[in-house]
Amino acid sequence: MTHQQKTLAKEILSCLEVGNPREVNLSIPRHATTTPVLRRFVYDSACRGRTLPIVFRDNSHPTPFPLGSLEAGEATPLVTANLFVGLMSFRHPELDYLVDLYITRNRELAEQASQADEEALAFTRTTEFFEDPAFDRGCVVYACHTGLEPMVVGFYRGVVHTLQQRSKRGLPRNLAVVPLIFRGNTEEHSFTPASPGARLESYEQIEPWW
């Protein structure tokens, strides 16, 4: 774990164990830190039944994040279907050359009254997206990250909900969501197919959710 990830994990543990802080501000750490740390707690059986109270920079409070809610273990053999998604359209237009579709629209998010509302919209759009029966056959979904932390939190809360519902339906563990974190230079060849944001090698793949 990086120093930032260790710091966030320690803060979450303190929140859960002693209530100090009472809620964790997930506007402060970047999405590259938040995503793997939340994953760690989601698959931690010691946290089963717990939720993480969250606050954002604008002092809005989204739905607490469900912890200990997914079972650790290997995925079943995955089908060959792959899908690349962006979390929000028009945030970095060069992603148009890489992704198949976007989960949320820039305009929709901009119309929300608070960051908690942005998180809620991202959750809703994510669960609606995964309701497509085509996913019952399995898929590897590569989620390209470009920031906006409330949206990222809402997306992964939607992923957790989706995986829980699939388990209740008795579906195999053949849906994997693979975070791809941008590590390139945003200024080089901007908004063209040659832009780092349009090339898969500019993204770091981290541990999948399934």
What does the pLDDT read at residue 92?
A: 79
- Across residues 186-208, what is the average pLDDT? 83
Spatial separation of the C-alpha atoms in residues 156 and 122, rounded to whole Å: 9
pLDDT per residue as tens digits for the range 135-177: 999 999 999 987 889 999 999 999 999 999 999 999 999 999 9
Residue 194 has pLDDT above 90, yes or no: no
For 69, the token pair is 């809610």
* DSSP-derived secondary structure for 100-126: SEEEE-HHHHHT-SSHHHHHHHHHHHH
Helix (H, G, I), strand (E, B) or coil at 166: helix
What are the residue boundaries of the structural domains of the chain, listed by start?
A: 3-66, 82-205
How is the chain split among helix, strand and coil, in percent rounded to 5?
40, 20, 40
Q: How far apart are the first and last CA of the chain?
A: 20
Compute the mean pLDDT over every residue in the chain, rounded to the nearest whole number. Answer: 93
Rounded CA separation 174/172 (Å): 5
CA distances from 116 to 13, 32, 45, 83, 154 (A): 22, 19, 27, 28, 9
Pairwise CA distance, residues 87 & 102, whole Å:
6
- 189 pLDDT band (50/70/90 cuts)? low
Count other C-beta atoms under 10 Å from residue 13's C-beta: 12
Q: In the structure encoding, which two tokens stand for residue 191, read together?
A: 């908004």
Q: Kindly state the tokens that stand for 1.
A: 């774990």
DSSP SS3 for 60: coil
Contact by Cβ (8 Å): 192, 160: no
Q: Give how far Cα 92 sits from Cα of 37, 120, 144, 147, Å.
A: 25, 22, 11, 10
Structure confidence by residue, pLDDT tens digits, 43-102: 999 999 999 999 999 999 999 999 999 999 887 877 678 999 999 998 778 899 999 999
CA distance 158 to 58: 22
